[in-house]
Structure 1
Amino acid sequence: MTGRCLLDNKDFRILIVDDEESLREVLSIMLHREGYRVEAAVDGAQALARLKDHAYDLIISDIKMPRVGGFELLRHVRETSPDTVMIMITAFSSTEEAVEAMKQGAYDYITKPFKNEEIRIIVRNALERRTLRQESRRISDGARRQAMGGLIGQSRCMQELYDLIEKVAATRVNVLITGESGTGKEVVAKAIHYNSDRRDLPFIPINCGAIPENLLESELFGHEKGSFTGAISQKQGLFEVANQGTLFLDEIGELPPMMQVKLLRVIQEREFRRVGGTKNIRCDVRVIAATNKDLEAEVKNGTFREDLFYRLNVIRIELPPLRERREDIPLLVEHLYQKLTGRTGYQIEEAAMRRLLEYRWPGNIRELENLIERCVVLGASDKLTAQALPLPLQATASGGAEPAGIGPEIPDSGFDLDAYLGGIEQEILQKALEKTGGVRKKAAELLGISFRSIRYRLAKFGISPDDEE
C-alpha cells in the first residue's frame, strides 16, 4: 500500500505486560507467529525491572494491574524511553481511562474482548509510526510549520496545538475539533491527516449543514441503482470513497437526528449499507468532526445524541480565537499577503498594525483574510495604512467600544445582500482597472479571475475599460 513502511518484523522487540496468564499467552503466540521477538511480564513491576536491562520497540500493557499499574508504567516509559511505543489494554467499561492514557502518550488502546486481526493491524501501524517518527524527528521549525498544512503562528497556544496535532496524528482515534467560526478547523483536520500514516490516502471533507437532509444519507453511504427516484446508477458514498483515509465531518452539530443514528452505527461497527442495498460494506475510515456549537448543551437539550457525542469526542482540540493570540497577527498578515500576491515584504504602518491588534476579530482568521484581500485589491501601494482599513477598524482605539465586524449593520426591516455585494464588486473592478491602466487582462490577473470572467462582470455593471475594442 502506498505510504507504508517496509518493516522486517524480526527487527522489533515487543513486551507484553498483563496479570492474566491466558491473555499473555494468546498475544505472545500470535505476535511470535507474525515474526516479532516477544517477551512477557506478569505486571508493571516486573516490566520496570526488565526495562533496566532491555530496550523494547513496543509495549502492550494492561491498565489495571497489582503493584505497578499501566499508567505508572506509561509515565516511566515516556520519561526514560520516548522511542518506545505503548498500546494499552482495557475493559470496555474503562474506555475513559484508556483515553486518558493516550493523552499521556500511549499510541492506542485495545478493548477486551479483542479480535486478533485488530491487534495485528494496530501493532503494525504503531511500529510503522515509530519508524516514521524516528526518521523525521529532527525537522526544523520551518519544516514543522509546513507539515502543519499552512497553520501559522508562534504563540504559546499555537505551539501547544502543533504538539497536540502530532500526538493525535499518530493514533487512529476519532477527533472533535471545536472553536468559533473562521478559526481554521478544516486546516487542522488536514494537518492531522497529512501527519498520519493515512497521508497518501483520501481526505474527504463534507459540510453536514450544506446538504439537504433527504440527500445526506446517499451522500455519506451511497445508493444502489433504482433505490429511489433519480437513482439511475449505483453511487459510492463518501465513507466508501474515504476508505483507509480520513472523513472530515464539518458542522457536525447540524446533522439531523436520523443521520446521527446511522453515523453512530458506522463508527461502532465499521460497516454500512448503501441506500437500497442489502450487503454490508466494511470500511476503515478515521472520522474527524468539527463544530462551532456547544455540543454538550446540544446533548442536554436533546438535539444531539449523547452516545454519538462520546464516540466523536475521544480527543478534543479546542481552537483559540484570533483575539486570544494577537501576537500571531503580524505573521498571519504577511502569510496572507504572500498567498494573495505571490510576493513578500508587506509593509504595515504602525497605526494600522495597532488597529489590527486592538480589533476583536469576531470572524477570526477568515475575517482577517477578507480584510487583507480587500486592502490588496483596493490599495494603491504595497504598504497597509490606517486610512486603507475599513471604517470599523479605523475607529478602533484603546478603551473605545469594540466594533461588531467589518460588514454593515443589518436593520430589523431587512437587508438587500445582492445590492450590497454588487456595489462592492463594482468598486473592486473599477479600482483594479485604475491600477492596471484600464487593461482588462492585467486586471483579471490582479483579481485572480479569468479574462472571460472579468469581461462578463464588466458588462454586467456597464463598465467600459480603456482597452475595449
Structure 2
Amino acid sequence: MTSEANKYRILIVDDEESIREVLSIMLHREGYLVDAVSDGQQAVDRLKACAYDLVISDIKMPRLTGFELLSHIRQRFPETAVIMITAFSTTEEAVVAMKNGAYDYIIKPFQNDEIRLVVQNALERKALRQENLQLKKELGKRYSFGSLIGKSKPMQEVYDLIEKVAGSKANVMVTGESGTGKELVARAIHYNSDRRDQAIVPINCGAIPENLLESELFGHEKGSFTGAVQQKAGLFEIANGGTIFLDEIGELPPMMQVKLLRVLQEREFRRVGGTRDIKVDVRVVTATNKDLVEEVARGAFREDLFYRLNVICLNLPPLRERRGDIPLLIEHFYEKLTGTKGIRIAEGAMRRLLDYNWPGNIRELENTIERCVVLGQSGELTEDCLPVQFRSGGPSAEGSLLQIPDVGLDLDAYLGNIEKDILLKALEKTGGVRKRAAELLGITFRSIRYRLAKFDIAPDGDDEGE
C-alpha cells in the first residue's frame, strides 16, 4: 500500500461477483479507491456521477458489453484508462479492444501480481500523459502567446498583462520600439479574448495614402468618388464582432483622428458617400513607436482620442532589456526557417549575439538568423556568418561580458578607458568635428569639450560649423 495509490480511483465492471470481490479486496489493500458494478450500463451511470482514473472491465457482460463500454469511455472520458478482462479462449477479442483504445488486458484466471503490475503501469502512463499535457499547457501559456517568445521577467510581465486585459472590452495601446512585436501582442490579446472566433483585422495607418485611408477604414458607396465602381465594406465593418488593430496610430492624419474618435464614441460610422449609420461592435487595439504624450503636447495628436485609445497601455521591452530570451528566440527562428531543432552556435558567435544592442529588436534578430542559415555551414552558427556590424564591434553593450580578475581591477580607470575609446571613435567617424561627434553620442557640445579636455584629446578636424 502506498500513499500515492490512494489518489487514484478505480471502477471494476464484471458480472461475476467473485471476480469483483477478489479485485476489490486486492486493490483496496494496495491503497486504491475502488468501486465495483455488475454490468456496463451501471458503469456508464457511475462514470457520469464520478471521475475514475481506471476502469477494469470484463468483455462479455449483459445489457452493455465491454466493447460498448470501451467505446463510450473513449468518446466521453478519453483521459480514463481501460483494462479488459477476458477468458483465455477469447484473447483475440482483447487484442481488438486494445486496438480500439484499451490500455491492456488480463486473462482469467489471473495472478494477483500480474494485475498489480498492469494496474500500476496503466496509472503511471496516465499520470505521465497528464503531466506532459500540463507542461505543454504551461509552456504555451507562460512562454508563448501566439508567436510571442520569451521567459524573461519583462516578458512574464507582458504575459500577465495580456491575461488580465484579454477578457475585457477595454481598448489597448501597445507601445515599444520598432521590431519588438507589437502586432503579435495585438493578436495574442485577440486570441485570448471571447472575440477569438471572429476576425482580427490589421491596418498600418502610415502605409496608406491619406486620400485612401477613410475608404479603407469605413468603406465607400458606389460612385462616391472616381474609381468607386462598386460598394465596398471597410475594415471596421469586416472586423465587426472582433478586433481591429491600428498599427502606427501616431501617423493617423488629423481629419481621420476626428472620424475615428466618433466611431469610438458612438460605435457607428458612415461609408464614404453614404447616408446611413452602420453600427459596429469592435475592440480597438493600437500600436505606436512614437511618444504620443509628446505628440499630444505639440498638437499633432488629439488629446481626447489619445485617452480613448490608451485605456490600457502595454509597453513592450526592447530586446536589449531581455537578453536572456535571445537563445530561446534563436532556436525558435532556426526551427521556423529550417523545420529542424537543435541549432549549434559557436561560443564566439553567441557572445557577439548576446553583446549586441539590437537597435532593430526581434525583427533584426530574425533577419540575422536567416542570414546565418543561408551562409552557415553544417548547421552551425559561427562568427563568420554574422553581419559585419557584429564582427566590427557595432552597437553593443560595452564590457557586458567582462570577467573580473581574481586580483580585482581599477573600476574608474577601466570605465575611463571605455569612455576615451568611445570619444576617439566618434571623432574618427566625424572627421574630428566635435559638434557632430557630440550629436552622434547624444551629448551637448559643452559636455564633449569637457570630456575631451579630461583625456587631453585634441580633435584632428577643423571643427567646421561649431
| Matched residue, 1:346 | 343
| Matched residue, 1:244 | 241
Alpha carbons 1:180, 1:321 under 8 Å: kept: yes
Residue 138 of structure 1, CA deviation: 9.4
| Matched residue, 1:192 | 189
Alignment partners' CA distance in 2, 1:195 and 1:283: 21
Q: Which amino acid aligns with 1:278?
A: T
Alpha carbons 1:379, 1:388 under 8 Å: kept: yes
Residue 395 of structure 1, CA deviation: 2.6
Alpha carbons 1:221, 1:238 under 8 Å: kept: yes
Residue 139 of structure 1, CA deviation: 7.2
Q: In the alignment, does 2:297 pair up with 1:300?
A: yes
Between the aligned residues of both structures, percent identity stands at 70
Residue 316 of structure 1, CA deviation: 0.2
Q: In the alignment, does 2:297 pair up with 1:266?
A: no
Q: What are the residue-to-residue correspondences of 1:83-162 with 2, within 5 Å?
A: 140-145=137-142, 148-162=145-159
Alignment partners' CA distance in 2, 1:146 and 1:195: 14
Q: Which amino acid aligns with 1:151?
A: L
Largest Rg, 1 or 2: 2
User: Structure 1's 141 and 172: CA in aligned 2 closer, same or farther, altered over 3 A?
Assistant: same
Alignment partners' CA distance in 2, 1:232 and 1:145: 49
Residue 141 of structure 1, CA deviation: 2.2
| Matched residue, 2:378 | 381
Residue 350 of structure 1, CA deviation: 1.0
| Matched residue, 2:44 | none
| Matched residue, 1:27 | none
Q: Mind listing any 5+ residue stretches in structure 2 that lack a counterpart?
A: 1-132, 400-417, 423-428, 430-466
Q: What are the residue-to-residue correspondences of 1:60-459 with 2, within 5 Å?
A: 140-145=137-142, 148-396=145-393, 398-399=398-399
| Runs (4+) off by over 2 Å | 136-141, 395-402
Deviations 1:298-333 (A, max 9, x none): 000000000000000000000000000000000000
Residue 379 of structure 1, CA deviation: 1.2
Alpha carbons 1:179, 1:291 under 8 Å: kept: yes
Question: Helix, strand or coil for the counterpart of 1:190?
Answer: helix
Alignment partners' CA distance in 2, 1:271 and 1:151: 33
User: Structure 1's 326 and 268: CA in aligned 2 closer, same or farther, altered over 3 A?
Assistant: same
Residue 394 of structure 1, CA deviation: 1.5
Residue 387 of structure 1, CA deviation: 2.0
Alignment partners' CA distance in 1, 2:270 and 2:386: 53
Alpha carbons 2:143, 2:149 under 8 Å: kept: no
Alpha carbons 1:221, 1:274 under 8 Å: kept: yes
Residue 388 of structure 1, CA deviation: 1.8
Deviations 1:13-70 (A, max 9, x none): xxxxxxxxxxxxxxxxxxxxxxxxxxxxxxxxxxxxxxxxxxxxxxxxxxxxxxxxxx
Residue 140 of structure 1, CA deviation: 2.9
Alignment partners' CA distance in 1, 2:226 and 2:175: 37
Q: Which amino acid aligns with 1:357?
A: L
User: Structure 1's 335 and 221: CA in aligned 2 closer, same or farther, altered over 3 A?
Assistant: same
Alignment partners' CA distance in 2, 1:241 and 1:137: 36
Alpha carbons 2:175, 2:287 under 8 Å: kept: yes
Alpha carbons 1:221, 1:272 under 8 Å: kept: yes
Alpha carbons 1:145, 1:152 under 8 Å: kept: no
Alpha carbons 1:147, 1:195 under 8 Å: kept: no
User: Structure 1's 138 and 377: CA in aligned 2 closer, same or farther, altered over 3 A?
Assistant: closer
Deviations 1:108-132 (A, max 9, x none): xxxxxxxxxxxxxxxxxxxxxxxxx
Residue 346 of structure 1, CA deviation: 0.2
The size of the alignment, in residue pairs, is 270
User: Structure 1's 137 and 241: CA in aligned 2 closer, same or farther, altered over 3 A?
Assistant: farther
Q: What are the residue-to-residue correspondences of 1:10-29 with 2, within 5 Å?
A: none
Q: Which amino acid aligns with 1:236?
A: A
Q: Which amino acid aligns with 1:271?
A: E
Residue 391 of structure 1, CA deviation: 1.7
Residue 146 of structure 1, CA deviation: 7.5
Alignment partners' CA distance in 2, 1:233 and 1:179: 39
User: Structure 1's 353 and 138: CA in aligned 2 closer, same or farther, altered over 3 A?
Assistant: closer
Residue 202 of structure 1, CA deviation: 0.3
Alignment partners' CA distance in 2, 1:334 and 1:395: 24
User: Structure 1's 138 and 361: CA in aligned 2 closer, same or farther, altered over 3 A?
Assistant: closer
| Matched residue, 2:95 | none
Question: Helix, strand or coil for the counterpart of 2:184?
Answer: helix
| Matched residue, 2:97 | none
User: Structure 1's 137 and 256: CA in aligned 2 closer, same or farther, altered over 3 A?
Assistant: farther
Q: Mind listing any 5+ residue stretches in structure 1 that lack a counterpart?
A: 1-135, 403-408, 410-469
Question: Helix, strand or coil for the counterpart of 1:200?
Answer: coil
Alpha carbons 1:183, 1:366 under 8 Å: kept: yes
Question: Helix, strand or coil for the counterpart of 2:147?
Answer: coil
Residue 145 of structure 1, CA deviation: 4.9
TM-score for both structures, normalised by structure 2: 0.56
Q: Which amino acid aligns with 1:209?
A: G
Alignment partners' CA distance in 2, 1:333 and 1:188: 19
Question: Helix, strand or coil for the counterpart of 2:299?
Answer: coil
Q: Which amino acid aligns with 1:379?
A: G
Alpha carbons 1:153, 1:331 under 8 Å: kept: yes
Q: Which amino acid aligns with 2:382?
A: T
Question: Helix, strand or coil for the counterpart of 2:246?
Answer: strand
Alignment partners' CA distance in 1, 2:242 and 2:143: 21
Alpha carbons 2:142, 2:151 under 8 Å: kept: no
Question: Helix, strand or coil for the counterpart of 1:196?
Answer: coil
